Amino acid sequence: MQILKLLTSFFWLLLLLVGCQEDFPTYSGFCNENNMPPPKCLHYIVLDKEDKNLLEKHFGLKDDTACEYRAELIRYHVGTCNNPVVKSTGGDFNGYVRIEIKKGFTCYYKVQSDFKNDENAAFKRVLKRIEKEIKE
pLDDT digits (tens, 9 = 90+) for 82-126: 656 555 545 677 888 999 999 988 899 999 998 888 889 889 999
In a domain, 60, yes or no: yes
In a domain, 17, yes or no: no
In a domain, 84, yes or no: yes
28, pLDDT greater than 90: no
Confidence band, pLDDT 50/70/90 cuts, at residue 23: low
Taken in order 84, 85, 86, 89, the sign of the CA dihedral is positive
In a domain, 49, yes or no: yes
* Tally of structural domains, the chain: 1
In a domain, 11, yes or no: no
64, pLDDT greater than 90: yes
Element of type H or E holding 29: strand 26-30
17, pLDDT greater than 50: no
More confident residue, 85 or 75: 75
Domain that holds residue 76: 23-135
